[in-house]
Amino acid sequence: MKKRILIIGACGQIGTELTLYLREKFGNHKVIASDIREGEAELMQSGPFEILDAMNYDAIQEVVIRYEITDVYLMAAMLSATAEKFPMKGWNLNMNSLFHVLNLAKDKKIEKIFWPSSIAVFGPTTPKIDTPQRTVMEPSTVYGISKQTGERWCEYYFKRYGVDVRSVRYPGLISYKTLPGGGTTDYAVDIYHKALKHKKYICFLNAETTLPMMFMDDAIKATVNIMEANTEKIKTRNAYNLSGMSFNPEEITASIKKHIPEFKISYEPDFRQAIADSWPQSIDDSEARDDWGWKSEISLDEMTEIMLTNLNDKY
Ligand code: AKB
């Protein structure tokens, strides 16, 4: 098989698990991990790794040519909370890295791109419950504006240049292998660590803040499935809605208490509350289901069990 994959941003929360999954599926030497810093030992030791800055077109091109890359997964991004602190840095990273890979595909140096979008493309004027695939989109965060703009460019490059780019709108992602960084949904990972370590957690969102979330295994499955689907099945070239589960801090606390009854949560909402309030509570992903057979599998209680079991050794 000719396929050779480059993951840019391989050491982040999604990149780490995606790299390991793809190495298992296609063979270690077929999947080149890259990031601006080194990552977890398992990732570094299981296959090729390159230090690579997602903002540097020439460096990306050099790696693409040297390894004869066919597919690129662009996982480097600045997430919502950090991008509010560094708006221009967030915009530059999120947009320039996307243009670099889109242009490599336009120039036929790579064949296929995965680029993640987010529920952050939606804003305060979007219908909040069962948010449809196509609806009002007026994002109010730098991150959301960069993702919405990125979606428009993906569709443009597909229509104008035939670039095979595929994308999904990730909800908040929860995993035990690598910590997230700089997102508004990060509390839903941190809460498990703190529940095991301190039996209490101070949440930066209020008790009723319901957000769409997903366990990492489901997210990886969606990512690889959309990339491996036959081209004619991918009818949306901006990004597909994706749904896993929806919960608020009170509900995840109740799920944790089934295992750790003494666990306590308190609330000190900060600037991330306004970001969360601008996002949907639940997502309608029927187009992804119909077009390429997407289906989430892991519920809140199943996820809690997996998280606590796997993090238990750490604390
Ligand atoms: C964030 O919170 O910024 C991300 C996202 C929803 O895209 N997890």
Quick one: which of 197, 172, 248, 246 has its CA closest to 13?
172
Catalytically active residues are: 143
What stretches in the chain show pLDDT beneath 70? 1
Task: Find out whether the beta carbon of 170 lies less than 6 Å from any atom of ligand 1.
Answer: yes
Q: Whose CA is nearest to atom 7 of ligand 1?
A: 118
Q: Beta-carbon neighbour count of residue 96 at 10 Å? A: 13
Asked if residues 51 and 75 have their Cβ atoms less than 8 Å apart, the reply is no
pLDDT attached to residue 315: 87
Task: Find out whether the beta carbon of 184 lies less than 6 Å from any atom of ligand 1.
Answer: yes
Q: Which pLDDT tens digit goes with each residue over 26-46?
A: 999 999 999 999 999 999 999
pLDDT attached to residue 1: 62
Quick one: which of 17, 15, 14, 20 has its CA closest to 34?
15
Mutate which of 178, 179, 184 for ligand 1 pocket (most atoms within 8 A of beta carbon): 184
Q: Measure Cα distances from 260 to 122, 197, 312 in Å.
A: 35, 11, 12
Residue type, 296: S
98 exposed, middle or buried (CB, 10 Å; 0-12, 13-18, 19+)? buried
- Ligand 1 atom showing the smallest separation from residue 79 Cα: 3
Q: Measure Cα distances from 107 to 54, 162, 163, 174, 289 in Å.
A: 18, 11, 9, 36, 32
Q: What is the CA radius of gyration of the chain?
A: 19
Task: Find out whether the beta carbon of 192 lies less than 6 Å from any atom of ligand 1.
Answer: no
pTM of the model: 0.97
Whole-angstrom distance, CA of residue 155 vs CA of residue 29: 31
Task: Find out whether the beta carbon of 118 lies less than 6 Å from any atom of ligand 1.
Answer: yes
pLDDT attached to residue 263: 98
- Ligand 1 atom showing the smallest separation from residue 80 Cα: 3
Q: Which pLDDT tens digit goes with each residue over 129-176?
A: 999 999 999 999 999 999 999 999 999 999 999 999 999 999 999 999
- Cα 300 to middle of ligand 1, angstroms: 18
Examine the predicted complex and report whether its ipTM is higher than 0.90: yes
**Backbone phi, psi, residue 60, to 5°:** -65, -45
- Cα 80 to middle of ligand 1, angstroms: 6
